[in-house]
């Protein structure tokens, strides 16, 4: 029955014609089905032997995507799907969603506390910490296109992140893609590399450079009003117009030169006359720098992007020890070394094709993200499903001690956690039931000392410590809490209202 004075069809009377409403179990089931469908879609991408997906839309070409945009996202989706799958079974047993949510919350907190207990921290030992970072990078790269050269790229990524000196600002690390050579020819370079060439007649090398970065139009000597007509009665008048335009351009260049910069970088074009003026003043002028390059260059040199030049005292110049032209493969590029932000560096990726380079960049970005977070929070844990087995054991113990229906939700949470190593085994073509049962026995026999995890190389259970398979504590903890919160949010849904489709006029 509805509330007094409110008709039973009140909701339908408020909605537009064509709008639909699902309530109660139907709404919850619809949410579950959608979430579990997405989890099943990405489930096969989990782990070092995971598959890739091809995304194809009508308007765009095919795009092959790897398993993760940032590290841990696949684990979040898969764990959320498994938690909802378990919750569906509990709801069928007439257990209220709020009881399930309460059980999941307690289980997640117990699992998080176990993660904190088993995490190792080698921040006080630089050699051991660097080894941890390399192992984490190799674990992240194992499921990517760079897996065959993961040792080389793990070293590159660790060296780049350690230059940040604890900062998580990855803007100071530039990734440049240059087709040619092999993936293994990629290298790390100190400083900043701009993918541009120095103009004709410009200085090729500037020491102790003062850098002015701008985004301004350098074509004020051109008439840009389309359709404008100028009537003159002699060629002398045409010459006067051209002289006025050049004088206007000269005045702007003089204002820029007055700032005392020795290197001028502009995001827009610099036309020939302006180039001549800068060359005569001994200034290296670089035109048409891409927006990302200009933003990052301003950051690493300590300058500000400016568009007006009326008052030099209001413009902040950047500084670096040396600006010179270098060769990368067959291309000339501009190298800025000794930048004001000393942690700035560039990773130059080489590869056979642009597609390989794009995928390599995404893979390397994942590794850099994980490493930067690990430097900020230096705790690490073993990978290969080891952490999930540890958390599942603790949650099961808590479930056995908890009275009431919440214990069923906790046991379901533990089963969902064990699905992560199960899926890793399935994706590698291994006997998941046998391997997970062996891992479970090993962790039960030695709760605090077991290092057993999925070893896809040997096709069985192996020591994650000996294999050097590590994960970042922060990433694993964030994945656990995100998956729990996502499943809780979907469990709370008991009403879905779909808007009426828009009518074509």
pLDDT tens string 170-204? 888 888 888 888 888 899 988 888 888 887 778 88
* Active-site residue, selected from the candidate residues 66, 71, 221, 366: 366
Residue 434 pLDDT > 90: yes
Structural domains of the chain, with CATH: 10-121+386-454+473-498 (1.10.560.10), 192-341 (3.50.7.10)
- What does pTM read for this prediction? 0.75
CB atoms within 10 A of CB 362: 17
What are the start-end ranges of the H helices in 142-224? Answer: 150-162
Of 6-10, 151-155, 492-496, give the range with the top mean pLDDT: 151-155
Mean pLDDT of 140-156: 84
Active site residue 73: yes
Q: Which two tokens stand for residue 138?
A: 């190799």
What confidence score (pLDDT) does residue 40 get? 85
Mean pLDDT of 296-305: 85
Active site residue 11: no
pLDDT tens-digit series, residues 93-143: 989 989 999 999 999 999 999 999 999 888 888 899 999 999 998 888 887
Least-confidence region, from 123-132, 335-344, 436-445: 335-344
* Active-site residue, selected from the candidate residues 44, 45, 67, 306: 67
Mean pLDDT of 286-302: 81
Residue 68 pLDDT > 70: no
* Active-site residue, selected from the candidate residues 44, 66, 71, 74: 74
What confidence score (pLDDT) does residue 64 get? 46
Residue 327 pLDDT > 70: yes
Identify the DSSP state of 154.
Answer: H
Active site residue 74: yes
Percent of the chain with pLDDT over 70: 87
What confidence score (pLDDT) does residue 17 get? 65
Query: How many residues does this entry show for the chain?
Result: 505
Give strand pairing partners of 284: 263
Q: Which two tokens stand for residue 368?
A: 């850099």
Active site residue 402: no
Question: What b-and-e string marks burial along 371-396, b requiring 16 or more CB atoms within 10 Å of the CB?
Answer: bbbbbeebbbbbbbbbbbbbbbbbbb
Percent of the chain with pLDDT over 90: 24
* Active-site residue, selected from the candidate residues 11, 65, 73, 147: 73
Burial (CB count <10 Å: 0-12, 13-18, 19+), residue 131: middle
What confidence score (pLDDT) does residue 249 get? 84
Cα angle vertex 299, ends 262, 213, to 5°? 35
What H or E segment, with its residue span, contains residue 10? helix 10-14
Of 14-28, 74-88, 216-230, 235-249, give the range with the top mean pLDDT: 74-88
CB atoms within 10 A of CB 406: 21
Q: Which two tokens stand for residue 190?
A: 């100190």
161-168 own/partner pairs: CB under 8 Å, 24+ apart: 161/133, 161/368, 161/371, 161/372, 161/375, 162/130, 162/133, 162/375, 163/342, 163/343, 163/344, 163/345, 164/343, 164/372, 164/375, 165/343, 166/375, 166/376, 167/343, 167/372, 168/372, 168/373, 168/375, 168/376
Mean pLDDT of 157-178: 85
What H or E segment, with its residue span, contains residue 388? helix 386-401
R_g of the chain computed on alpha carbons: 30
Asked whether the beta carbons of 122 and 134 are under 8 A apart, the reply is no
Could you tell me which residues come within 8 angstroms of residue 284 by beta carbon, excluding any fewer than 6 positions away?
A: 198, 202, 203, 206, 209, 262, 263, 264, 278, 323
pLDDT tens-digit series, residues 6-57: 455 555 566 666 666 667 677 777 777 888 888 888 888 887 887 777 766 5
CA–CA dist 93, 80 (Å, integer): 20
The upper half-sphere exposure of residue 165, i.e. CA atoms within 13 Å in the direction of its Cβ, equals: 5
Residue 494 pLDDT > 70: yes
Residue 2 pLDDT > 60: no
What confidence score (pLDDT) does residue 69 get? 34
């Amino acid at each position: 029955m509805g509330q007094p004075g409110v008709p039973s069809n009140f909701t339908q009377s408020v909605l537009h014609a064509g709008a639909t409403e699902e309530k109660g179990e139907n709404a919850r089931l619809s949410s579950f089905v959608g979430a579990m469908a997405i989890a099943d879609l990405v489930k096969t991408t989990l782990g070092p032997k995971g598959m890739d997906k091809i995304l194809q839309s009508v308007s765009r070409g095919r795009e092959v995507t790897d398993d993760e945009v940032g590290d841990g996202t696949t684990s979040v989706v898969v764990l959320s799907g498994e938690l909802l799958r378990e919750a569906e079974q509990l709801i069928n047993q007439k257990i209220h969603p709020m009881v399930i949510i309460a059980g999941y919350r307690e289980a997640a907190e117990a699992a998080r506390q176990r993660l904190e207990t088993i995490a190792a921290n080698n921040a006080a030992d630089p050699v051991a910490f660097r080894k941890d970072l390399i192992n984490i990078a190799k674990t992240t790269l194992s499921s990517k296109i760079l897996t065959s050269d993961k040792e080389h790229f793990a070293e590159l990524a660790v060296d780049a992140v350690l230059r940040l000196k604890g900062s998580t600002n990855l803007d100071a690390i530039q990734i440049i893609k240059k087709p040619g050579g092999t993936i293994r020819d990629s290298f790390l370079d100190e400083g900043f590399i701009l993918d541009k060439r120095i103009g004709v007649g410009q200085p090729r090398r500037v020491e102790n450079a003062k850098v002015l970065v701008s985004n301004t139009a350098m074509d004020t000597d051109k008439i840009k009003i389309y359709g404008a007509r100028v009537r003159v009665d002699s060629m002398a008048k045409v010459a006067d117009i051209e002289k006025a335009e050049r004088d206007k351009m000269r005045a702007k260049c003089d204002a820029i030169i007055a700032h005392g910069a020795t290197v001028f970088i502009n995001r827009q074009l610099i036309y020939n006359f302006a180039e001549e003026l800068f060359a005569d003043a001994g200034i290296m002028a670089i035109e048409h720098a891409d927006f990302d390059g200009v933003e990052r260059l301003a950051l690493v040199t300590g300058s500000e992007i400016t568009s007006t030049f009326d008052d030099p005292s209001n413009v902040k110049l950047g500084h670096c020890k040396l600006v010179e032209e270098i060769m990368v493969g067959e291309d000339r590029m501009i190298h800025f070394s000794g930048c004001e932000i000393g942690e700035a560096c560039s990773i130059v990726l080489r590869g056979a094709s642009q597609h390989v380079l794009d995928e390599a960049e995404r893979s390397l970005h994942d590794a850099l993200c994980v490493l930067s977070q690990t430097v900020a929070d230096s705790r690490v844990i073993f990978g290969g499903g080891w952490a999930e087995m540890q958390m599942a054991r603790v949650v099961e113990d808590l479930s056995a001690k908890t009275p009431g229906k919440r214990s069923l939700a906790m046991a379901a949470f533990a089963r969902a956690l064990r699905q992560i190593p199960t899926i890793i085994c399935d994706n590698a073509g291994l006997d998941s039931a046998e391997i997970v049962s062996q891992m479970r026995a090993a962790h039960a026999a030695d709760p605090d000392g077991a290092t057993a995890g999925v070893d896809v190389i040997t096709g069985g259970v192996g020591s994650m410590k000996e294999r050097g398979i590590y994960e970042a504590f922060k990433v694993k903890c964030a994945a656990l809490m995100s998956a729990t919160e996502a499943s809780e949010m979907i469990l709370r849904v008991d009403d879905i209202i779909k808007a009426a489709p828009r009518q074509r006029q």
